[in-house]
Structure 1
Amino acid sequence: MNASATIRERRTIRKFKSTPVAQEQIIALLNKAASLYETDGTPSWRCIYYDSLESRQRLAGSMLAKLKESRFGKFIPNKMTDFYSKQAIEIPAHLAFITESANTRRQSDENYAAVCSIMQNFQLLGWEQGLGMLWYTDPLIMSETFFKEIGLQNGERFAGLLSIGYYEKVPRARKRTPAEQKWTMIGGDDYPHPHTNADILPYSPQSILEMLNEAVYAPNDGMREPWRFVYASGGDAAAKLRSLQGSSSTAFLLIVAKEESDLHKQEEDYAAVCSLIQNFQLLAKANLWHVYRTIPEWTYSREKCTPFGIRPQERIAAVLEFGEDIRRSSSASTPPTVNVTQR
């Protein structure tokens, strides 16, 4: 995959051709998407696939159940519900992504980050084959009827619905805020000069910013761009991070996510930040960078996050470590198992 071009060119698609999408193509893309996500663990996730007319009709009905059953349902014209139903039915394929929840917030976040990252990989890989997608998590579809249709079980979490098809035309790009405007550097200006240690040159603030300016082309509802970046490579800040991480890494990048009071927006924003991080990792891998991603336990402590400038209603979504001598090798991890059920 040409990560740089594909990340910038991918668009959210809402109008699709009627051309069917082969199930074999979907399975192949899912396997590739899973292999591109690097992690120490083996997160459990699965997909429910809808491609037949009958299954898409059933899915469309479940997506409208909450709206129809609401106290306002009887006031909604049939023409309106028929229009939304027809839209969902005419899209050639849908994939519902489900991941395991967990007893701890950290493990739950790791599982959710994994499935969101795989969904982003899947969108990028599909785009290169002419497939467009819509990542759908609207609260209006969240109902007992919908969850029963996708077979959501106790101990599971719905991550999103990807509507899939060959796109009619590519929408115009929407501008992203430059990463420089969401960037903070801490720890002092003691980054080594070229003649002192050439091995760590790729991880300079400027080179990381250049890569972030591509990674920010991540899907996010309403273009809220709920992220910012805190960089540390020297001084007390980097020393403290090395201690917290148990690491000797050259430089660190904290990916900070905004936390809305609305829980649904909060979840959507976390998915967007996970997609941005995955974009960054794909770009880093293409450039042969040594980057390691963690969601460490200490990031759930407000007291430990405050020294790095983390504000109220923010959280650290991930810590990225840079350097040749990274203590663990994520490349040796086992790709998440692909489990697809056809409805």
Structure 2
Amino acid sequence: MNFDFTEEQKIFQDSIRRFALKEMAPLVEKAEETNTFPLELFPKMGAQGYLCVTYEEKYGGAGADKVCDAIINLEIGRISMGFSASLSSQMLSTFPVKVFGSEEQKDKYFPFAISGEKTFAFGMTEPNAGSDSANIETTAKRDGGSYVIKGTKMFVTNGPFADYITISASTDRSRGIKGIAIFIVDKDAPGLKNMGKLEKMGLHCAETGEIVFEDCRVSEECLIGPPEGGFPALMESLNESRISVAAMIAGVAQAAFEAAMAYSKERVAFGRPICKFQVNRFKLVEMGMMVETSKLLVYKAAWLCDQKRPFAKEASMAKLFASEAACRITGQAVQLHGGYGYMKEYPVERYFRDARAGTIFEGTSEIQHEVIARLMGI
């Protein structure tokens, strides 16, 4: 058993870490204050080969493995979980094309997503369908060579600015999940209404929106895969995405732990650094242990994915543990900073707010428990 990264993975880790510190870190404060994602990061990431890294080289991708993808999300998550959430949407939104799409669709969408020339969003959640994703209310009715889409998608990351939005819609509601199809819709499609940004507790720089489809007519070429039976592709997309999300959550947890370690060594109370008090040392030990466990779960799930072995259970375990641990780690980081931890002057209050989203999006903690239990056979 070897826990070392390969040379390629080490290169990815070193290069993305330096890129994140140089190109991303200076942008975080303004992005958070204005609730705006710096769109210039998409082509910059694309130029370095950091977007959709697992896609084949013939489309412009890096042809890297899932471990490299996890490394990238973790390192960006250390700088800004919001940045990681927005940038990773490029792959989540186009993954159904990888599973179900035609070669023509791959040639059309992959180069845009990989280069960052166009931006993508993924719309699955609805006002009345979140965790119960099989019972979506958005419909797509065939009309000649087109489909007419009606419905609303909520909490769409990148929704306010995305050029393309990947959505799930029911072509036959009587068939339940078997009647679900996947579409990629151009932002300028007639009948698509972008309702603007939603204000959130955290992840301020990850623009989140509501998209309404009012008799939105799209060409049948926008259908990804069959007109029915698209639900498995959605689930496969979410399984892989959970590894990426768990990685970015582990990243923000690591950032909070590192900040708490640094501050507790510098802050002096009662004549000695506060890290020398047993109550604080034990907190830091537990925080460090949870960070390492989160990373191990993430990298094991990614490794299993690369080995073409079943990984859904491990992906859900990684996402569940990392998100719950991050809430505790970031909370303790705020506590160790005392009053300063509650001030925006220090980044730990942002880590705390951002980490809370991890237990909700890409499958709530409750849903992860159900998924894991089912895969354990109980």
Q: Do they superpose with TM above 0.5?
A: no
Write 1 or 2 for the structure with the bigger share of helix.
2
TM-score range, shorter chain: under 0.3
TM-score w.r.t. structure 2 length? 0.23
TM-score w.r.t. structure 1 length? 0.24
